[in-house]
C-alpha cells in the first residue's frame, strides 16, 4: 500500500493508520543508518521550521533542531516569551502568520487544542512535541527501540507502570492498539486512563490483534513482559501533587524485583526521560544491563526526522 503523508500534521497517533506508523518507523531506521555511516543529505535545504515551546525540554528540542539542521534546514526556536501565543493576539492570527513564514511548526505545550488550532489555521504541518493529552513522537522512538532489540513489534508485551493516564501512557496505548502489541497499563485506579480512550483503543485493537489491559496489580501485569516502561510520577505542571503521588505510586516503582517478576532475562526497561532515580525507577535498573533508555532517547531524533521527511517532501 502506497503511503503519502505530505502536508499532514502529526498531532496524535489516532490520526494515523498502522501502515502509516510502520512507514514512519521504516524511514527512521533509514535515516539512523545514514547518520551512523556518515552519509550527509540536505533534504530540507531552503526550508524553515518554527519550534514553539511552552514547556522546556532536552530531548524534544535537540531532536527537532539537530534533525532539521542536519538536513540543511533552518530551525527557529521560539519560547512563549518570544512570540504572542494567544496573548495580545488571537492564536489563529499567530498561526496564519507563522504559516506564511515557515514550512512547518513543532509545538510543545499544555493544551492539545493549541496544537490543533495551529494546524488548522497555519496551513502547514504541525508536529506535537508533547501536550497534556499526547506525546506521539515519543512513542515512535519507543517502538523503534523495542523493534531494534526484539526484531518485531506485533505481539510484544509492553507494560506501562505508574501514572497510566498521562500523555505518554495515553499515546503508548494508542500506538500499541494500532501496531498490534499487548499493552498493559498498571497503576492505581485513581490514575487509570479515561474509559473513552480505553474503549477507542480496544475498538482499534479488534482490527489489529492488539490486546489492551488495565490493572492495579504490578506482579500480575509484568508477567512475561518484553518491556517495562515508566515515567515521572508528577508531569510538568503537576509538581504540587508530587507528595501525594509518591505515596500513591510507591508500589509501582520499577525496581530489580519487579524486573525479575517478568520471569524473563531479556525484558528491557524504557523511560521517556528525564527520570527521578529512586522514585519511579531505581538507579540500578535505569543504569543496568536491561535499560535501553539512551538508545530510546537517541531514537527521538531519528523518528522526528522521519516524521518531517514524510510530511514535508
Is 303 marked within a binding site? no
125 and 8 Cβ atoms separated by less than 8 Å? yes
Coil, strand or helix at 291: strand
218 known ligand binder: no
**Is 135 among the residues known to form the active site?**
yes
**Residue 302 falls in the annotated catalytic set:** no
List the catalytic residue out of 61, 103, 132, 135. Answer: 135
- The CA–CA distances, whole Å, from 166 to 21, 27, 232, 299 equal 21, 28, 10, 21
Q: Is 137 annotated as a binding residue?
A: yes
Is 101 part of any known ligand binding site? no
- 60 marked among binding-site residues: yes
Q: Is 231 a catalytic residue?
A: yes
Out of 132, 138, 186, 245, the active site residue is 138
Q: Do the annotations mark residue 108 as ligand-binding?
A: yes
138 annotated as a binding-site residue? yes
Q: Which of 226, 271, 272, 302 is catalytic?
A: 272
Task: Let me know if 300 is a catalytic residue.
Answer: yes
Could you give the C-alpha distances from 41 to 72, 74, 137, 163, 311, in angstroms and in order?
8, 14, 22, 40, 17
Choose, from 156, 182, 245, 300, the residue flagged as catalytic: 300
> Does 114 count as an annotated binding residue?
no
Q: Answer yes or no: is 231 a known binding residue.
A: yes
Cα–Cα distance between 202 and 199 in angstroms, integer? Answer: 5
Q: Residue 17, annotated ligand binder? A: no
Annotated binding-site residue? 57: yes
Cell 498493559, located at residue: 184
The active-site residue out of 182, 231, 271, 290 is 231
Measured from the Cβ of residue 240, the count of other Cβ atoms closer than 10 Å reads 8
Q: For the range 128-133, what are the long-range contacts, defined as Cβ-Cβ under 8 Å and sequence gap of 24 or more?
A: 128/9, 128/10, 128/11, 128/12, 129/53, 129/57, 129/60, 129/61, 129/64, 130/55, 130/57, 130/60, 130/167, 131/107, 131/167, 132/167, 132/235, 132/237, 133/12, 133/167, 133/170
- On whether 167 is known to bind a ligand per the annotation, the reply is yes
User: Is 186 noted as a catalytic residue in this protein?
Assistant: no
Q: Which of 61, 108, 245, 292 is catalytic?
A: 108
The reply to whether 30 belongs to the active site is no
Any residues with CB less than 8 A from the CB of 173 and at least 6 apart, and which? 160, 183, 185, 193, 197, 198, 201, 212
- Is 237:110 a contact under the CB 8 Å cutoff? yes
Contact 168, 44 (CB under 8 A): no
- The reply to whether 289 sits in an annotated binding site is no
Was 273 annotated as part of a binding site?
Answer: yes
Binding residues for carbamoyl phosphate: 57-60, 108, 135-138, 272-273, 300
Residue ranges at the known binding site: 57-60, 108, 135-138, 167, 231, 235-236, 272-273, 300
- For the annotated catalytic residues, the residue numbers are 108, 135, 138, 231, 272, 300
Give binding residues for L-ornithine as ranges: 167, 231, 235-236
Amino acid at each position: 500500500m502506497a503511503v503519502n503523508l505530505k502536508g499532514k500534521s502529526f498531532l496524535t497517533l489516532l490520526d494515523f493508520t498502522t501502515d502509516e506508523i510502520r512507514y514512519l518507523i521504516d524511514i527512521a531506521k533509514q535515516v539512523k543508518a545514514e547518520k551512523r555511516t556518515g552519509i550527509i543529505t540536505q533534504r530540507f535545504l531552503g526550508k524553515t521550521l518554527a519550534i514553539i515551546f511552552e514547556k522546556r525540554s532536552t530531548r524534544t528540542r535537540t531532536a527537532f533542531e539537530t534533525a532539521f539542521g542536519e538536513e540543511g534546514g533552518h530551525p527557529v526556536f521560539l519560547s512563549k516569551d518570544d512570540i504572542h501565543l494567544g496573548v495580545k493576539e488571537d492564536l489563529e492570527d499567530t498561526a496564519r502568520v507563522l504559516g506564511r513564514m515557515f514550512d512547518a511548526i513543532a509545538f510543545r505545550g499544555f493544551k492539545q487544542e493549541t496544537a490543533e488550532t495551529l494546524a488548522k489555521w497555519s496551513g502547514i504541518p504541525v508536529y506535537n512535541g508533547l501536550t497534556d493529552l499526547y506525546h506521539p513522537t515519543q512513542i515512535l522512538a519507543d517502538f523503534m527501540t523495542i523493534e531494534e532489540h526484539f526484531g518485531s513489534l506485533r505481539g510484544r508485551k509492553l507494560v506501562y507502570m505508574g501514572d497510566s493516564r498521562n500523555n505518554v501512557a495515553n499515546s503508548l496505548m494508542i500506538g500499541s492498539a494500532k501496531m498490534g502489541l499487548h499493552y498493559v497499563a498498571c497503576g492505581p485506579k485513581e490514575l487509570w486512563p479515561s474509559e473513552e480512550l480505553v474503549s477507542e483503543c480496544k475498538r482499534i485493537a479488534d482490527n489489529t490483534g492488539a490486546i489492551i489491559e488495565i490493572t492495579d496489580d504490578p506482579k500480575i501485569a509484568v508477567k512475561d513482559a518484553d518491556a517495562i516502561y515508566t515515567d515521572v510520577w508528577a508531569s510538568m505542571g503537576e509538581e504540587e501533587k508530587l507528595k501525594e503521588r509518591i505515596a500513591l505510586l510507591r508500589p509501582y516503582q520499577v525496581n530489580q524485583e519487579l524486573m525479575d517478576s517478568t520471569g524473563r532475562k531479556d525484558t528491557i526497561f524504557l523511560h521517556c526521560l528525564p527520570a527521578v532515580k529512586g522514585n519511579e525507577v531505581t538507579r540500578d535498573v535505569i543504569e543496568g544491563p536491561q535499560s535501553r533508555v539512551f538508545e530510546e532517547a537517541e531514537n527521538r531524533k531519528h523518528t522526528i526526522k522521519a516524521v518531517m521527511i514524510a510530511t514535508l517532501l
